[in-house]
Structure 1
Amino acid sequence: MRKIIVGAFTSLDGVMQAPGGPDEDPIGGFKFGGWAAPMFDEKMGAFIGELFAKPFDLLLGRKTYDIFAAHWPYVDKDDPIGPLFDRIDKYVATRNPDFKPTWQNSHVLGPDTIAAVRKLKDGDGPDLLTQGSTEFLKALFENDLVDEIHVSVFPVILGKGKRLFGDASFPRALTLIDSCTSDTGIVMSRYARAGDVASGSFEFETPTDAELERRRNLT
């Protein structure tokens, strides 16, 4: 069985839209494209390098696929990521039944995206790594298909924009695998799934009259 690993850059308030440049994704009037670039440093590069060091295939939403296909095949060949992304398999989630990818080793997941992802996950091969793909990620989280989350939280608040998690995400406990901080304040963490959400209580064993009244007022 293959793992699905989410790789994401987010702001402190969870926005992950257009980290790489001003023209990357201005949808919805987003004005802060390229917000991640000024803080990217050597430690952040090492964190990404570790993510890409093990064998993987890419699992991408259509918009992120188009961004990658317009960039990575054209980078200088001294950049190791371009040839790596060219070589590996890339699986694309799209609502357009007529979409025909032209980037080599690209495959359309088909009309039932979640069924196709489940089949990939249950099969043989390297882990499946997402990048960007906010709309596609919502479906993966809602269907409890994510095994690990590698998230880099940048010290910036962006307000509006596409976010990593939606309201319909499947409730799930996580365990922290490791975490480190870059010199520019980026907190880079890796989480793995850890079963159901546990709950406890800080309340008094016997509620006070004031607490009972508070609860009655909630209804």
Structure 2
Amino acid sequence: MRRLTAGLFSSVDGVVESPHLWQFDSFDAELGAGMGAMISRVDTVLLGRHGYEEWADYWPRAEASDPFGAFINPVEKFVASRTLSGELGWTKASLMNRPLEDFVRALKQTDGGDIAVCASISLVRQLLFAGLLDSLMLMVHPVVAGTGRHLFEPSDPVTRLELQELTTTSRGNVLASYALRPETSGE
């Protein structure tokens, strides 16, 4: 079975939206290496409509020397959307042909490398709470963003996680990977 992963940049106060507005000087080589290790195992990406539209507008025009552009442009991409239709304009991008959770369950049963959720806070949340996300990496930058969307909402259920891996970088970033904690009786 293929693994489903997600990685989100986060501020210390939990903001995961628009990290380009607040991560500036904390991005370092160790963080880049952690991201590189994560994407080296990925051969399929899941995007929401909003993330797809932003990224499809930017990444195809990125410089060829950009490591993330070299990854994201040729990789297979599936987009979850209720409003897009027809052929998508970005290389190897197509719409999911059934509801998100059903699509992901079936995709995880196919052959291939890891599947990564990118550029979609709502997809990460939905797949985590559905029990389909195998690893959630939070890349916490040493900054208080103040405003912006958080990954979790006050109405979310109590959800126990287990730490899979933890790394701290020279500029104070914390890379923490979590999985849903397996249910055990008596808790």
Q: Distance in 1 between matches of 2:132 and 2:175?
A: 22
Tell me how large the CA RMSD over aligned residues is.
2.3
Identity of aligned residues (%): 30
Are 1:4 and 2:4 an aligned pair? yes
Residue pairs, 1:35-184, within 5 angstroms:
35-98=22-85, 100-110=87-97, 112-167=99-154, 172-184=159-171
Shift of 1:5: 0.4
- Map Cα deviations across residues 100-147 of structure 1 (whole Å, 9 max, x no partner): 410010111135222112211222222111123012222212312111
State whether residues 59 and 72 of structure 2, in contact with CA within 8 Å, keep that contact through their aligned partners in structure 1: yes
Name the residue aligned to 1:205. none
1:4 corresponds to which letter in structure 2?
L
State whether residues 141 and 170 of structure 1, in contact with CA within 8 Å, keep that contact through their aligned partners in structure 2: no
Pair 123,104 (structure 1): closer, same or farther in 2 beyond 3 Å: same
Instruction: Name stretches of at least 5 consecutive residues in structure 2 with no aligned partner.
Output: none
Say which is worse superposed, 100-109 or 73-82, in terms of deviation: 73-82
Shift of 1:197: 7.0
Higher strand residue share: 2
Shift of 1:156: 2.0
Pair 122,167 (structure 1): closer, same or farther in 2 beyond 3 Å: farther
State whether residues 4 and 146 of structure 1, in contact with CA within 8 Å, keep that contact through their aligned partners in structure 2: yes
1:2 corresponds to which letter in structure 2?
R
Q: Distance in 2 between matches of 1:38 and 1:110?
A: 40
Say which is worse superposed, 185-194 or 84-93, in terms of deviation: 185-194
1:82 counterpart SS class:
helix
- Map Cα deviations across residues 180-210 of structure 1 (whole Å, 9 max, x no partner): 212221111222333027887xxxxxxxxxx
- Count the aligned residue pairs: 187
Instruction: Name stretches of at least 5 consecutive residues in structure 1 with no aligned partner.
Output: 21-33, 201-219
Q: Distance in 2 between matches of 1:40 and 1:124?
A: 34
* TM-score in terms of structure 2 length: 0.87
Q: Distance in 1 between matches of 2:161 and 2:65?
A: 37
State whether residues 166 and 175 of structure 2, in contact with CA within 8 Å, keep that contact through their aligned partners in structure 1: yes
2:129 corresponds to which letter in structure 1?
E
Pair 180,69 (structure 1): closer, same or farther in 2 beyond 3 Å: same
Q: Distance in 1 between matches of 2:45 and 2:149?
A: 20
Shift of 1:171: 5.2
State whether residues 173 and 198 of structure 1, in contact with CA within 8 Å, keep that contact through their aligned partners in structure 2: no
